[in-house]
Amino acid sequence: MRIVVTGGAGFIGSHFVRQTLTGAYAAWADAQVVVVDKLTYAGNEANLAEVADTPRLRFVRGDICDGELVGQLLRDTDLVVHFAAESHVDRSISGSEEFVRTNVLGTHTLLNAAANAEVGKFIHISTDEVYGSIESGSWSETEPLEPNSPYSASKASSDLLARAFHRTHGLPVCVTRCSNNYGPYQHPEKVIPLFITNLMDGRPVPLYGDGGNVRDWLHVDDHCRGIALVAENGRPGEVYNIGGGTELTNLDLTERLLELLGADRSLIERVPDRKGHDRRYSVDITKISTELGYRPEMSLENGLEETAKWYLTHRGWWEPLKKR
Protein backbone atom coordinates (compact mmCIF):
# COMPACT_ATOMS: atom_id res chain seq x y z
CA MET A 1 0.00 0.00 0.00
CA ARG A 2 1.41 3.37 -1.06
CA ILE A 3 -0.17 6.57 0.30
CA VAL A 4 0.76 10.06 -0.88
CA VAL A 5 -0.14 12.80 1.60
CA THR A 6 0.02 16.38 0.37
CA GLY A 7 0.58 19.04 3.01
CA GLY A 8 1.74 16.29 5.34
CA ALA A 9 3.95 18.63 7.36
CA GLY A 10 1.04 20.92 8.22
CA PHE A 11 -1.24 20.77 11.23
CA ILE A 12 -3.88 18.28 10.13
CA GLY A 13 -1.78 16.46 7.54
CA SER A 14 1.02 15.73 9.99
CA HIS A 15 -1.47 14.35 12.51
CA PHE A 16 -2.82 12.00 9.85
CA VAL A 17 0.72 10.89 8.95
CA ARG A 18 1.73 10.32 12.57
CA GLN A 19 -1.43 8.32 13.24
CA THR A 20 -0.97 6.25 10.09
CA LEU A 21 2.64 5.39 10.85
CA THR A 22 2.02 4.57 14.52
CA GLY A 23 -0.73 2.04 13.82
CA ALA A 24 -3.88 4.04 14.54
CA TYR A 25 -5.50 2.90 11.28
CA ALA A 26 -5.38 -0.88 11.02
CA ALA A 27 -6.05 -0.95 7.28
CA TRP A 28 -2.71 0.74 6.61
CA ALA A 29 -0.51 -0.91 9.22
CA ASP A 30 2.17 -1.63 6.62
CA ALA A 31 1.59 1.31 4.27
CA GLN A 32 4.40 3.28 2.71
CA VAL A 33 3.69 6.98 3.22
CA VAL A 34 5.07 9.69 0.94
CA VAL A 35 4.67 13.23 2.25
CA VAL A 36 4.93 16.11 -0.21
CA ASP A 37 4.99 19.56 1.35
CA LYS A 38 6.25 22.93 0.11
CA LEU A 39 7.12 23.95 3.69
CA THR A 40 5.50 27.36 3.56
CA TYR A 41 5.17 29.25 6.84
CA ALA A 42 2.46 26.75 7.91
CA GLY A 43 4.48 23.61 7.13
CA ASN A 44 7.07 22.35 9.59
CA GLU A 45 9.22 19.23 9.40
CA ALA A 46 9.32 19.26 13.20
CA ASN A 47 5.66 18.16 13.07
CA LEU A 48 6.90 14.80 11.75
CA ALA A 49 9.78 14.37 14.22
CA GLU A 50 7.93 11.60 16.06
CA VAL A 51 7.93 9.39 12.95
CA ALA A 52 10.92 10.82 11.07
CA ASP A 53 12.99 7.66 11.50
CA THR A 54 10.24 5.32 10.32
CA PRO A 55 11.46 3.42 7.24
CA ARG A 56 7.96 3.57 5.78
CA LEU A 57 8.07 7.40 5.57
CA ARG A 58 9.50 9.38 2.68
CA PHE A 59 9.48 13.19 2.78
CA VAL A 60 9.60 15.23 -0.41
CA ARG A 61 9.84 19.01 -0.31
CA GLY A 62 7.87 20.17 -3.32
CA ASP A 63 5.04 22.23 -4.76
CA ILE A 64 1.75 20.58 -5.74
CA CYS A 65 1.62 22.98 -8.70
CA ASP A 66 4.72 21.26 -10.13
CA GLY A 67 3.13 18.91 -12.64
CA GLU A 68 6.31 16.96 -13.39
CA LEU A 69 7.04 16.28 -9.71
CA VAL A 70 3.45 15.38 -8.91
CA GLY A 71 3.25 13.08 -11.91
CA GLN A 72 6.31 11.18 -10.72
CA LEU A 73 5.10 10.91 -7.12
CA LEU A 74 1.66 9.60 -8.01
CA ARG A 75 2.85 6.66 -10.10
CA ASP A 76 1.89 3.32 -8.53
CA THR A 77 -0.01 5.12 -5.76
CA ASP A 78 -3.01 3.48 -4.10
CA LEU A 79 -4.30 6.47 -2.16
CA VAL A 80 -3.85 10.25 -2.26
CA VAL A 81 -4.94 12.27 0.78
CA HIS A 82 -4.87 15.91 -0.25
CA PHE A 83 -4.46 18.31 2.69
CA ALA A 84 -2.20 20.90 1.06
CA ALA A 85 -3.93 24.29 1.04
CA GLU A 86 -3.69 27.91 2.01
CA SER A 87 -6.25 28.05 4.80
CA HIS A 88 -6.15 31.28 6.82
CA VAL A 89 -9.18 33.45 6.02
CA ASP A 90 -7.56 36.71 7.12
CA ARG A 91 -4.62 36.12 4.78
CA SER A 92 -7.00 35.43 1.89
CA ILE A 93 -8.70 38.78 2.52
CA SER A 94 -5.43 40.72 2.41
CA GLY A 95 -4.13 38.78 -0.61
CA SER A 96 -5.96 35.99 -2.43
CA GLU A 97 -3.61 35.15 -5.31
CA GLU A 98 -1.72 32.40 -3.50
CA PHE A 99 -5.03 30.85 -2.40
CA VAL A 100 -6.16 30.54 -6.01
CA ARG A 101 -2.78 29.19 -7.08
CA THR A 102 -2.44 26.53 -4.39
CA ASN A 103 -6.04 25.59 -3.70
CA VAL A 104 -7.36 25.66 -7.26
CA LEU A 105 -4.42 25.21 -9.63
CA GLY A 106 -2.57 22.91 -7.23
CA THR A 107 -5.61 20.70 -6.78
CA HIS A 108 -6.11 20.58 -10.54
CA THR A 109 -2.49 19.51 -11.01
CA LEU A 110 -2.95 16.69 -8.51
CA LEU A 111 -6.28 15.52 -9.95
CA ASN A 112 -4.87 15.48 -13.46
CA ALA A 113 -1.82 13.48 -12.37
CA ALA A 114 -3.98 11.10 -10.33
CA ALA A 115 -6.25 10.43 -13.31
CA ASN A 116 -3.25 9.80 -15.58
CA ALA A 117 -1.67 7.47 -13.00
CA GLU A 118 -4.98 5.68 -12.34
CA VAL A 119 -4.65 6.23 -8.60
CA GLY A 120 -6.83 3.87 -6.54
CA LYS A 121 -8.55 6.59 -4.49
CA PHE A 122 -8.26 10.35 -3.99
CA ILE A 123 -9.46 12.08 -0.80
CA HIS A 124 -9.86 15.83 -1.15
CA ILE A 125 -9.94 17.62 2.21
CA SER A 126 -12.24 20.64 2.19
CA THR A 127 -14.10 22.83 4.67
CA ASP A 128 -17.60 23.63 5.89
CA GLU A 129 -16.92 27.25 4.89
CA VAL A 130 -17.81 26.42 1.28
CA TYR A 131 -21.48 26.33 2.32
CA GLY A 132 -21.44 29.91 3.57
CA SER A 133 -23.33 31.05 6.65
CA ILE A 134 -26.47 29.39 8.04
CA GLU A 135 -28.86 31.01 10.53
CA SER A 136 -30.40 27.79 11.86
CA GLY A 137 -30.18 24.07 11.24
CA SER A 138 -27.18 22.36 9.65
CA TRP A 139 -25.82 21.99 6.14
CA SER A 140 -26.13 18.60 4.50
CA GLU A 141 -23.80 17.52 1.71
CA THR A 142 -26.42 18.32 -0.95
CA GLU A 143 -26.67 22.03 -0.11
CA PRO A 144 -25.48 24.56 -2.71
CA LEU A 145 -22.05 26.11 -2.24
CA GLU A 146 -22.16 29.79 -1.29
CA PRO A 147 -18.62 30.73 -0.14
CA ASN A 148 -18.11 34.25 1.19
CA SER A 149 -14.33 34.64 1.55
CA PRO A 150 -11.57 34.26 -1.04
CA TYR A 151 -10.35 31.26 0.97
CA SER A 152 -13.68 29.43 0.96
CA ALA A 153 -14.27 30.37 -2.69
CA SER A 154 -10.95 28.77 -3.63
CA LYS A 155 -11.87 25.62 -1.70
CA ALA A 156 -15.33 25.47 -3.29
CA SER A 157 -13.64 25.72 -6.69
CA SER A 158 -11.35 22.81 -5.86
CA ASP A 159 -14.33 20.77 -4.60
CA LEU A 160 -16.02 21.23 -7.96
CA LEU A 161 -12.87 20.24 -9.82
CA ALA A 162 -12.72 17.06 -7.74
CA ARG A 163 -16.34 16.30 -8.64
CA ALA A 164 -15.66 16.97 -12.31
CA PHE A 165 -12.67 14.62 -12.41
CA HIS A 166 -14.83 11.88 -10.93
CA ARG A 167 -17.70 12.47 -13.34
CA THR A 168 -15.55 13.02 -16.44
CA HIS A 169 -12.55 10.77 -15.93
CA GLY A 170 -13.88 8.21 -13.45
CA LEU A 171 -11.29 9.17 -10.85
CA PRO A 172 -12.44 7.65 -7.52
CA VAL A 173 -12.62 10.88 -5.53
CA CYS A 174 -14.23 11.56 -2.16
CA VAL A 175 -14.54 15.07 -0.72
CA THR A 176 -14.60 15.67 3.04
CA ARG A 177 -15.80 18.94 4.56
CA CYS A 178 -14.80 19.54 8.14
CA SER A 179 -15.76 22.06 10.78
CA ASN A 180 -13.20 24.14 12.73
CA ASN A 181 -10.22 22.03 13.78
CA TYR A 182 -8.07 22.42 16.87
CA GLY A 183 -5.38 20.46 18.67
CA PRO A 184 -1.59 20.14 19.07
CA TYR A 185 0.72 21.46 16.34
CA GLN A 186 -1.79 24.02 15.03
CA HIS A 187 -0.10 27.19 13.79
CA PRO A 188 -0.47 30.02 16.35
CA GLU A 189 -2.16 32.31 13.83
CA LYS A 190 -5.35 30.26 14.38
CA VAL A 191 -7.74 31.34 17.10
CA ILE A 192 -7.36 28.63 19.75
CA PRO A 193 -3.53 28.43 19.77
CA LEU A 194 -3.31 32.21 19.34
CA PHE A 195 -5.48 32.79 22.39
CA ILE A 196 -3.78 30.08 24.46
CA THR A 197 -0.26 31.34 23.75
CA ASN A 198 -1.24 34.99 24.27
CA LEU A 199 -2.83 34.16 27.62
CA MET A 200 0.25 32.18 28.64
CA ASP A 201 2.22 35.40 28.28
CA GLY A 202 -0.42 37.64 29.85
CA ARG A 203 -1.22 39.28 26.52
CA PRO A 204 -4.72 40.29 25.36
CA VAL A 205 -6.76 38.13 22.99
CA PRO A 206 -8.36 39.84 19.96
CA LEU A 207 -12.07 39.06 19.72
CA TYR A 208 -13.82 39.98 16.48
CA GLY A 209 -16.94 42.14 16.63
CA ASP A 210 -19.53 41.19 19.22
CA GLY A 211 -18.09 37.67 19.63
CA GLY A 212 -21.39 36.13 18.53
CA ASN A 213 -20.09 34.20 15.51
CA VAL A 214 -20.77 30.48 15.99
CA ARG A 215 -18.43 27.64 15.05
CA ASP A 216 -18.54 23.86 15.49
CA TRP A 217 -15.27 22.62 17.03
CA LEU A 218 -13.64 19.39 15.88
CA HIS A 219 -10.55 17.88 17.47
CA VAL A 220 -7.90 16.99 14.89
CA ASP A 221 -7.86 13.36 16.02
CA ASP A 222 -11.59 12.97 15.36
CA HIS A 223 -11.17 14.68 12.00
CA CYS A 224 -8.35 12.40 10.86
CA ARG A 225 -10.23 9.33 12.04
CA GLY A 226 -13.17 10.45 9.91
CA ILE A 227 -10.87 10.93 6.92
CA ALA A 228 -9.48 7.42 7.42
CA LEU A 229 -13.01 5.99 7.39
CA VAL A 230 -13.79 7.80 4.15
CA ALA A 231 -10.50 6.72 2.59
CA GLU A 232 -11.16 3.07 3.45
CA ASN A 233 -14.89 2.76 2.77
CA GLY A 234 -16.28 6.03 1.40
CA ARG A 235 -18.15 5.83 -1.88
CA PRO A 236 -16.32 7.44 -4.83
CA GLY A 237 -17.97 10.61 -6.03
CA GLU A 238 -19.50 11.37 -2.63
CA VAL A 239 -19.06 14.25 -0.18
CA TYR A 240 -18.87 13.59 3.56
CA ASN A 241 -19.25 16.22 6.28
CA ILE A 242 -17.08 15.71 9.38
CA GLY A 243 -18.07 17.68 12.48
CA GLY A 244 -17.29 17.77 16.16
CA GLY A 245 -20.80 18.28 17.49
CA THR A 246 -19.94 21.22 19.75
CA GLU A 247 -21.10 24.67 18.64
CA LEU A 248 -19.92 27.74 20.53
CA THR A 249 -19.93 31.47 19.97
CA ASN A 250 -16.46 32.95 19.77
CA LEU A 251 -17.16 34.72 23.05
CA ASP A 252 -18.09 31.42 24.75
CA LEU A 253 -14.89 29.86 23.44
CA THR A 254 -12.85 32.81 24.67
CA GLU A 255 -14.36 32.58 28.14
CA ARG A 256 -13.57 28.86 28.30
CA LEU A 257 -9.96 29.54 27.41
CA LEU A 258 -9.73 32.35 29.97
CA GLU A 259 -10.98 29.99 32.67
CA LEU A 260 -8.66 27.21 31.54
CA LEU A 261 -5.59 29.48 31.65
CA GLY A 262 -6.66 31.26 34.86
CA ALA A 263 -6.89 34.61 33.09
CA ASP A 264 -9.17 37.60 33.63
CA ARG A 265 -11.82 38.94 31.24
CA SER A 266 -9.88 42.20 31.11
CA LEU A 267 -7.58 40.47 28.59
CA ILE A 268 -10.38 40.36 26.01
CA GLU A 269 -9.57 42.98 23.38
CA ARG A 270 -12.48 43.87 21.12
CA VAL A 271 -11.33 44.40 17.53
CA PRO A 272 -13.22 45.40 14.36
CA ASP A 273 -15.06 42.50 12.77
CA ARG A 274 -13.51 40.61 9.86
CA LYS A 275 -14.73 41.60 6.40
CA GLY A 276 -17.54 39.32 5.22
CA HIS A 277 -17.43 37.40 8.50
CA ASP A 278 -19.80 34.39 8.30
CA ARG A 279 -22.11 34.37 11.31
CA ARG A 280 -22.58 30.64 11.82
CA TYR A 281 -21.37 27.32 10.44
CA SER A 282 -23.00 23.98 11.19
CA VAL A 283 -22.69 20.67 9.36
CA ASP A 284 -24.98 17.66 9.46
CA ILE A 285 -22.87 14.51 10.01
CA THR A 286 -25.70 12.00 9.52
CA LYS A 287 -24.24 10.64 6.28
CA ILE A 288 -20.77 9.74 7.56
CA SER A 289 -22.27 8.46 10.80
CA THR A 290 -24.79 6.11 9.21
CA GLU A 291 -22.62 4.95 6.30
CA LEU A 292 -19.21 4.69 7.96
CA GLY A 293 -19.87 4.62 11.71
CA TYR A 294 -18.19 7.93 12.50
CA ARG A 295 -18.82 9.80 15.72
CA PRO A 296 -16.65 12.41 17.47
CA GLU A 297 -14.99 10.97 20.56
CA MET A 298 -13.08 13.93 22.01
CA SER A 299 -15.19 16.22 24.19
CA LEU A 300 -14.44 19.91 23.86
CA GLU A 301 -13.62 20.12 27.57
CA ASN A 302 -10.98 17.40 27.36
CA GLY A 303 -9.75 18.55 23.96
CA LEU A 304 -9.16 22.14 25.05
CA GLU A 305 -7.44 21.00 28.24
CA GLU A 306 -5.18 18.62 26.32
CA THR A 307 -4.42 21.28 23.72
CA ALA A 308 -3.58 23.94 26.32
CA LYS A 309 -1.22 21.52 28.09
CA TRP A 310 0.52 20.78 24.80
CA TYR A 311 1.21 24.47 24.11
CA LEU A 312 2.30 25.00 27.71
CA THR A 313 4.95 22.29 27.30
CA HIS A 314 6.00 23.07 23.70
CA ARG A 315 6.99 26.72 23.84
CA GLY A 316 10.06 25.89 21.75
CA TRP A 317 7.77 24.82 18.91
CA TRP A 318 5.36 27.75 18.77
CA GLU A 319 7.37 30.72 20.01
CA PRO A 320 9.59 30.99 16.89
CA LEU A 321 6.46 30.87 14.71
CA LYS A 322 4.94 33.83 16.53
CA LYS A 323 8.18 35.80 16.32
CA ARG A 324 8.08 35.50 12.52
Active-site amino acid positions: 128-129, 151
Sheet architecture: strand order including 214-219: 180-182, 214-219, 247-249
Cβ atoms 85, 145 nearer than 8 A: no
Q: Is the Cβ–Cβ distance between 241 and 125 less than 8 Å?
A: no
Backbone angles phi, psi at 236, to 5 degrees: -55, 140
How many angstroms separate the Cα of 206 from the Cα of each of 133, 198, 216?
22, 10, 19
- In 3D space, the residue among 196, 92, 100, 108 whose CA is nearest the CA of residue 148 turns out to be 92
| Rg of the chain, C-alpha, whole Å | 19
C-alpha span between 113 and 219 (Å, rounded): 31
Q: Which element (helix H / strand E) includes 122? A: strand 121-127
The span from the CA of 306 to the CA of 313, in Å, is: 11
Residue type, 147: P
Greatest extent of the chain over all pairs of C-alpha atoms, in Å: 57
Provide the 8-state DSSP code for 280: B
